[in-house]
Amino acid sequence: MKLILASGSPRRLELLKLITENFSVIPADCEEHLDSALSPKEAVKALARQKAEYVSEKYPETTVVGADTTVFLGETPLGKPKDTQDAKRMLSLLSGKSHSVITAVALARGGKTLNAFAEETSVEFYPLSEKEIDEYIATGEPMDKAGAYGIQEKGALLIKRINGDYYNVMGLPVARLSRELSLFI
């Protein structure tokens, strides 16, 4: 099975290795914009399709996996923080509340989407003090992650419970992806 992962995320690379070692990494270098006119799941799926199709146009014979993860507090998307103040704002918003983590995955070949799906996981944070937020931001972990936290690192200390796929929160729902890939490869 030869695949291309259209993502530079070290977490996605690590997770795709649970399915196969036989893939290349070619990040999609295209502009991303979350379409607020769409439902959260459809908006994230559109981004995943865009990434997969962009790379698959350049490598038309290979199946490309594109993915996008976005955190939603209600209907409000929380992407990657712009700076430490933005990370603090996001973590303060999530403090003591439940939110959704939606990861969408698209499989494309020849510039066309073969299939796209989205998984949603509910995550509840403990109430966080300003000190806890500042200490977590000082680790540097929040800066490249949707919602300003990573479940697989020190961000795990912020989480009271999850309902859904743990790996989805990391950025790639591997069990579902494995099943979907078996239909196209």
Active site residues: 68
Rg (CA), the chain: 16
d(CA 185, CA 183): 6
Residue 162 CA to residue 152 CA, distance in Å, equals: 13
98-109 and 3-5 as β-strands: parallel, antiparallel, unpaired? unpaired
The whole-angstrom separation of Cα 76 and Cα 36 is 9
Cα–Cα dist 114/128, whole Å? 42
State the pairing for strand pair 3-5/23-25.
parallel
Closest CA relative to residue 172, chosen from 148, 157, 152: 152
The residue written with tokens 């379409």 in the block is 35
Q: Give the C-alpha separation, 41 to 173, whole Å.
A: 14
The DSSP line for 75-93 is TEEE-S-SSHHHHHHHHHH
